[in-house]
Structure 1
Amino acid sequence: MEEPLATPTPGYAHRVAIYDMDRTITHSGTYSGFLIHVALRRQPWRLLLLPLIGLAGAAYALRLIDRARLKAINLRLLVGKRFSRAEIAPLAESYADKVVACGVHPAALEQIAADRAAGYRLLLATASFHLYVDAIARRLGIDDVLATRLDEPDGADHIHARLSGDNCYGDAKFARISGWLTDNAITREDAHIRAYSDHVSDHPMLRFADEAVATTPSRGLKRLAPRMGWQVVDWRARK
């Protein structure tokens, strides 16, 4: 049974711990759950559109659309083409309550607490939407969030079911992390960085870290981690 990393690393001006969210901190993905949570409470008739979501998933599997387009289509089908932030915000909060209450690995919470106690600044970097990730991050005591943005051409009042900028995934996620470090005046040589992820798509972030941890890893990451010398832990093993 692996104990949480905790020992502070001396000699650095900054300590940063970067966490992926879906299937790293959480037991499973959160995006589909959020869409269904909103549809059930807001417009249950939209669940009749689930077969269309299946077709979109098939188009993605056949590489006819990319991951960003798939996410936008699903959001449009189950939430709407355009919606009010004020209307969705309470549903994001209630969904965050649900996720944190029963959808988070206890071992992940232990590691977050250990990193916080060791003086690490906690950064959540995820492809999921800010729309609900921010609420989850607040409940976890995360300091900063990088997530996929949605288009808000009308300002803060209305959100459109299309992405603003890149899907925060893979190389695009790492670019966002690099930008965050620059914005916060954190240089690589002055920072000790820990990174946690379940998926091989996060290899740019994991390679960048001083301590990389493959948490309950996907098949691809489970193969890559030993070759890279990254620690492998199964956060399902600690209850």
Structure 2
Amino acid sequence: MNRIALYDMDRTITRHGTYSGFLAHMALRVAPWRLVLVPIVLIVMLCYILGLIPRGRSKEINQWLMMGDRVSREAIRAHVESYADRVVARGILPGALAQIAADRATGATLVIASASYRLYVEPIAARLGFDHVIATDHVSQGTQYLRAKISGENCYDLAKLRMIHAWMMREGLNRSECHIRAYSDHVSDAPMLDYADEAFAANPSRKLRILAKLKGWPVLDWREG
């Protein structure tokens, strides 16, 4: 039996969401003048909340505003790594670290499945000892440049589950031969939690707390301990 532990990242493992912090970090270090565009970023976020633009498109627009449309991967590499250092040093929930260690001790394959961009999820995951990352990918021009455009699907809701299925196929993992644990803070991860053999609502939002009660999923608070 293959043991797999699937973790959402933002507000499940981390204290706060990471995307806005990432954009601010990159703007400060690469092009500080872009911070004057923050009011437009806030307008874009409001348009997403009001349902005027899709989630994935709002991410693309805000990255374009804060980082530009075509960015050299080599030029931003050190800044991406420094952001990962900052998140791991200050922003990881203590209970999440304990659970990650416990799952590792059982021999489980540790996987982060996150709507955040692979660009910075991977270095965070590496620092925490994860084995694999399933995340939103960027379109690249060749191998040198990063574009402010999503490749494939935004790793969110049902799309996240589809991407988990695709990852399992690539790894040659048969669902009937796997025991899956899944952890998330947000109701959008209900498809992933339903798919798991063991589902946990970690630091849950109000909607997920209600759903967890209906489903009988244990509720975990990783903010202490």
Q: TM-score under structure 1 normalisation?
A: 0.93
- How far, CA to CA, are the matches of 1:95 and 1:58 in structure 2? 25
Matched, 1:116 2:101: no
How far does residue 73 in structure 1 lie from its aligned partner after superposition?
0.6
Matched, 1:187 2:204: no
1:106-130 deviations in whole A, cap 9, x for unaligned?
1101111111111000011000001
- How far, CA to CA, are the matches of 1:108 and 1:59 in structure 2? 32
Q: TM-score under structure 2 normalisation?
A: 0.98
Matched, 1:164 2:180: no
- How far, CA to CA, are the matches of 1:188 and 1:146 in structure 2? 17
Correspondence for 1:209: 196
- How far, CA to CA, are the matches of 1:196 and 1:217 in structure 2? 10
Amino acid at match of 1:166: E
- How far, CA to CA, are the matches of 2:44 and 2:195 in structure 1? 34
Root-mean-square deviation (Å):
0.7
Paired residue for 2:27, among 24, 32, 39? Answer: 39
- How far, CA to CA, are the matches of 1:212 and 1:109 in structure 2? 18
1:126-147 deviations in whole A, cap 9, x for unaligned?
0000111111011001000011
Matched, 1:52 2:52: no
How many residues are paired up? 225
Correspondence for 1:149: 137
How far does residue 237 in structure 1 lie from its aligned partner after superposition?
2.9
- How far, CA to CA, are the matches of 2:129 and 2:142 in structure 1? 27
1:143-192 deviations in whole A, cap 9, x for unaligned?
0001101111x211001101111100000000000111111111111111
Alignment of 1:223-234 (within 5 A): 223-234=210-221
Paired residue for 1:73, among 52, 61, 68? Answer: 61
Q: Which runs of 4+ in 1 moved over 3 A?
A: none
Identity of aligned residues (%): 54
- How far, CA to CA, are the matches of 1:185 and 1:165 in structure 2? 21
- How far, CA to CA, are the matches of 1:195 and 1:89 in structure 2? 31
- How far, CA to CA, are the matches of 2:71 and 2:170 in structure 1? 31
SS in 2 for 1:57: helix
Q: What stretches of structure 2 of length at least 5 have no aligned partner?
A: none
Correspondence for 1:7: none
How far does residue 72 in structure 1 lie from its aligned partner after superposition?
0.4
Q: What stretches of structure 1 of length at least 5 have no aligned partner?
A: 1-11
Paired residue for 1:200, among 176, 179, 187? Answer: 187
- How far, CA to CA, are the matches of 1:150 and 1:180 in structure 2? 17
- How far, CA to CA, are the matches of 2:190 and 2:48 in structure 1? 22
How far does residue 93 in structure 1 lie from its aligned partner after superposition?
0.3
